[in-house]
Amino acid sequence: MKLIFATQNQHKADEIQKALPDSIQIMTLKDINCHDDIPETENTLEGNASLKSKYVVEHFNVNCFADDTGLEIEALNGEPGVLSARYAGASKDANDNMNLVLEKLKGSQNRRAQFRTVISLMLEGKEYQFEGIVKGTIREVKSGAEGFGYDPIFQPDGFDITFAEMSMEEKNKISHRGRAVQKLIDFLNKYES
């Protein structure tokens, strides 16, 4: 089965492809010559994921899925949340975003946070949603060079290293996206049989 992943982010596509069986081939927006900047105007992760998957179906008539992910920090009332990618501005610069989080959390004892991913799958005209959550804490300094986004400051519960210090395989086993993708895989395997 070929599925379009509604993203231009090759990191995310590679991460998900590694978690999928060989029978499912992930293609990105680039593979279908979609260079549109799909709007993310909803105020929830569920809404944005749905908006993106439906956009691809309407314009390209292909089965696809889209995700939206947010870092939700307790002490910041759930920020950056749905604005995670552009928290520090429209440039979507990961370092600027992390620096803003670290600045806002300066002196805060509560560093509890969670990453949450929502996947919207559009398959044969029907929508299905899957959610994955991983809880952890925000480190006071960046650590590690793997991953992307907020990975260098997020330490998942049960570990003494950040996502950015893990291999992609290690991260996929426990990550929010990995958990949502596993639900997607389980669904697709049942759907295909």
Q: Is 68 tagged catalytic?
A: yes
Phi first, then psi, for residue 29 (nearest 5°) are -60, -35
Which residues are registered as beta bridge partners of 133? 116
Residue showing tokens 């899957």: 130
Q: How far apart are CA 162 and CA 143, in angstroms?
A: 7
Kindly name the residue from 68, 93, 96, 160 that is annotated as catalytic.
Answer: 68
Burial of residue 107 (CB within 10 Å: 0-12, 13-18, 19+) is exposed
- Residues labelled catalytic: 68
